Every structure is written in structure tokens, then in C-alpha cells.
């Protein structure tokens, strides 16, 4: 059995890391194909270094562009690699353009596709990620659903039960495997001169939030209200998409918000674990806060992670400044006694065990 892992962005590297470790441990034949969707050091290489992952065998260096440019270049580059490698199965993770291109190029070459983190649905086709998820799920052969909620979504779309394997989410593996390492190796609080529970952490990068001037302005106003009311600084490792828009729209960063460059996973985990609360529109961060028992306020109207709402770790507030501050007030007072619905940290093992048994 020869496996190709196709990845291209920060969250895919993090969420594929336990699978790559498992492939190494089992001495299975595999290679990593990187699309180059993310290429800046702190969105890409830093994670290979920190998580001690072998470098990709191929990087097709597509870079940034419109959705069609990114996806089109990826399809062409991925097809070339897969035509010369004798691959039995391709694994993709999540909902990015890389995932769509990886699954589509493989399916057209009649190579089996395994979709890790399958079945998530926001039911909002205004998100590019929702389109990527739906298409990828429907052309995949093995659907590794993190939870029963995700499995139900797939069944409701008529996908065959036999293709669905509930495994938990590999983000739990990544959090459990790296939290202790983070404690030993990094000290970001000291570096930023912050004390535990005396700051908030923010990440905002979704296209539908930051590419619209009024929405981004509202989010910054919300941050200003929050800093004023709670007298806590907001640490904000800013995604390059958001940075580009801030400059283009000439928006001002409120006093109390401390912008920093995107940081490595170890430092980010540490910041999350010690924060009083996290404000985000990231998918992975909604999960990590739930796992780490840190309250989360999500600046979106919907989420493909409803498990976090059900257990009470997360609240949706949209981008209205008053609603943002109301959400923070409510979530700061929240008892942190919820259960983690995303699995026990053995998802990578479960996926590999299944594939070995499947005899491809």
C-alpha cells in the first residue's frame, strides 16, 4: 500500500501531523505532497520544524491567487505527481482549496481518496470551505468523520454508511501530543509579558469576515469595546490575509489590541491554554479551546463545529460589536466543566489501522 498525503495550509499540516507520525512508526510507504497554498515561513515551514515532520517529497508551489487560480494550478501539479507515483490512496484533511484539488485530481485518476475530518457542515454556501467540503465528501471513498454529528450529515446527503468511519478529530492528537512539549520548549507569555488568565487571544481570518470593510471595522470596534470593559489586552496573531485587508481599508487597530505575526503551534497552544478567553472565526481554534477547556466566542453566524455549542464551550456572536462584548461577558462567567466531544487523541491511529485492514 502506498499512501500520498496531500496538504497545503497551516491547519492541514497540524491536523495531519499525527497521521504522518503514525505512518513513520508503522514504516508504511508514503510521501507528502505540498501544494504550496501556504508558503510564508510562519504559516508553513515552522510547523514541519516544530512538529518534527519529514519535509514534503514534492512541493508544487502554487502560491496565492483567486480560488480558480489556486485550485486550477493545484489540479495540474497534483495530477503530474500522481501519474508518476504508483499511489493506492490519497489522504486529504479538512476543507481548503488544497483538499478539493487533491481529492478531485485523485478521483479522476481512479485513485482512492480518504477524507480526514469529513462530514462537517456549516450549511452556508457563502463560505468557500463549505463548497470544498461537500464536493470532497461526495468524491471520496473513505470518510473519516470526527463525530457522530458529522456522520449524520453525510448520511443525510445520501452517502453510503459503509464508507463512513467515525474516528474523532486528529486535532485532539495534535493537542495532546504537543501541549507538554510546548511547556518544555517555549515561553510565549514571558516573551509577550503576559500573565496567565490576564489576557484574551484573538484570531480572525475568514474571507467572509475580513474581505468586507464594514465587517472588519465592526470586529475591531467589538475588540475595542471588549478591551475597555474588561481591561484585558487582546493578543492577536494576525493572518496575512487580514493584515493585507487592514492596510487596504486603512483601518486602525484599537488600543489594547496587541498585533503579533502568526506564531508556531507550540506557542499558540500555550497562549490558548492560558488565555482568559479566545475570540475567533477559525475552525481549528473552536475545537482546541473546547479541548483545552477555555471559553470561546466565535465571530460568525454559524459553525460546522456544533458540538462546541452543544457542550457549551463556544458561543456564536456574529460581527456586531455589542454582540461581541455581550458574548465575552457571558463566556467569561462560564463554568469550564464541559466534556471534549472530539475524541481521545487516537484518531491518527484509528485511521491508519483502518487503512491497513482495508487492504488497498
Q: Cell numbers for 47, please give them.
A: 510547523
CB of 208 to ligand UD1, least distance (A): 11
Residue 245 as a binder of ligand UD1 (CB under 6 A): the answer is no
Nearest to 141 by CA among 177, 97, 87: 87
Residue 40 as a binder of ligand UD1 (CB under 6 A): the answer is yes
Q: How far apart are CA 295 and CA 289, in angstroms?
A: 6
Q: Is residue 205 annotated as a catalytic residue, yes or no?
A: yes
Q: Which does 215 bind (CB under 5 to 8 A by kind): ligand UD1, ligand UDP, none?
A: none
CB of 200 to ligand UDP, least distance (A): 14
**Which DSSP letter does residue 43 get?**
G
Which residue(s) pair with 92 in the sheet? Answer: 115
Stretch touching ligand UD1 by CB under 6 A, among 6-14, 73-81, 115-123, 317-325: 6-14
CA separation, residue 297 to residues 33, 180, 193, 195, 225 (Å): 34, 25, 24, 21, 14
**Residues within the interface to ligand UDP (CB under 6 A):** 10-11, 14, 203, 205, 237, 262-265, 268, 282-285, 288
**Pairing label, strands 277-280, 257-260:** unpaired
Stretch touching ligand UD1 by CB under 6 A, among 3-11, 47-55, 189-197, 347-355: 3-11
The nearer residue to ligand UD1, 138 or 244, going by C-beta atoms, is: 244
Stretch touching ligand UD1 by CB under 6 A, among 93-101, 138-146, 148-156, 218-226: 93-101
DSSP H helices in 35-66: 45-50
Residue 302 as a binder of ligand UD1 (CB under 6 A): the answer is no
CA-derived radius of gyration, the chain: 20
Chain centre to alpha carbon of residue 310: 20
Residue 205 as a binder of ligand UD1 (CB under 6 A): the answer is yes
CB of 17 to ligand UDP, least distance (A): 10
Residues annotated as part of the active site:
205
Amino acid at each position: 500500500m502506498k499512501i500520498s498525503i496531500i496538504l497545503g495550509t497551516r491547519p492541514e499540516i497540524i491536523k495531519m501531523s499525527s497521521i504522518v507520525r503514525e505512518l513513520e512508526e508503522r514504516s508504511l510507504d508514503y510521501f507528502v505532497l505540498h501544494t504550496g497554498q501556504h508558503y510564508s515561513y510562519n504559516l508553513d515551514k515552522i510547523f514541519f520544524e516544530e512538529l518534527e515532520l519529514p519535509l514534503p517529497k514534492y512541493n508544487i508551489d502554487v502560491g496565492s491567487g483567486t480560488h480558480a487560480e489556486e485550485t486550477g494550478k493545484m489540479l495540474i501539479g497534483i495530477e503530474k505527481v500522481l501519474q508518476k507515483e504508483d499511489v493506492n490512496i490519497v489522504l486529504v484533511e479538512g476543507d481548503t482549496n488544497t483538499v478539493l484539488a487533491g481529492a478531485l485530481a485523485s478521483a479522476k485518476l481512479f485513485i482512492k481518496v480518504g477524507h480526514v475530518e469529513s462530514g462537517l457542515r456549516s450549511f452556508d454556501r457563502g463560505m468557500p470551505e463549505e463548497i470544498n467540503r461537500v464536493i470532497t465528501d461526495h468524491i471520496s471513498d473513505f470518510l473519516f468523520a470526527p463525530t457522530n454529528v458529522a456522520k449524520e450529515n453525510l448520511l443525510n446527503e445520501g452517502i453510503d454508511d459503509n464508507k463512513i468511519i467515525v474516528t474523532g478529530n486528529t486535532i485532539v492528537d495534535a493537542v495532546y501530543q504537543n501541549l507538554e512539549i510546548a511547556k518544555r520548549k517555549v515561553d510565549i507569555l514571558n516573551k509577550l509579558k503576559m500573565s496567565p488568565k490576564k489576557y484574551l487571544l484573538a484570531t480572525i481570518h475568514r474571507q467572509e469576515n475580513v474581505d468586507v470593510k464594514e465587517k472588519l471595522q465592526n470586529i475591531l470596534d467589538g475588540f475595542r469595546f471588549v478591551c475597555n470593559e474588561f481591561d484585558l489586552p487582546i493578543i492577536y496573531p494576525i493572518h496575512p490575509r487580514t493584515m493585507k485587508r487592514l492596510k487596504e481599508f486603512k483601518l486602525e487597530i484599537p488600543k489594547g489590541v496587541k498585533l503579533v505575526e502568526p506564531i508556531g503551534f507550540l506557542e499558540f497552544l500555550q497562549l490558548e491554554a492560558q488565555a482568559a478567553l479566545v475570540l475567533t472565526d477559525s475552525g481549528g481554534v473552536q475545537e482546541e479551546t473546547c479541548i483545552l477547556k477555555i471559553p470561546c466566542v466565535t465571530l460568525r453566524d454559524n459553525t460546522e463545529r456544533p458540538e462546541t455549542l452543544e457542550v457549551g464551550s463556544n458561543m456564536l456572536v456574529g460581527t456586531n460589536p455589542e454582540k461581541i462584548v455581550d458574548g465575552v461577558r457571558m463566556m467569561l462567567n462560564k463554568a469550564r466543566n464541559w466534556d471534549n466531544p472530539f475524541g481521545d487523541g487516537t484518531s491518527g491511529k484509528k485511521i491508519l489501522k483502518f487503512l491497513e485492514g482495508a487492504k488497498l
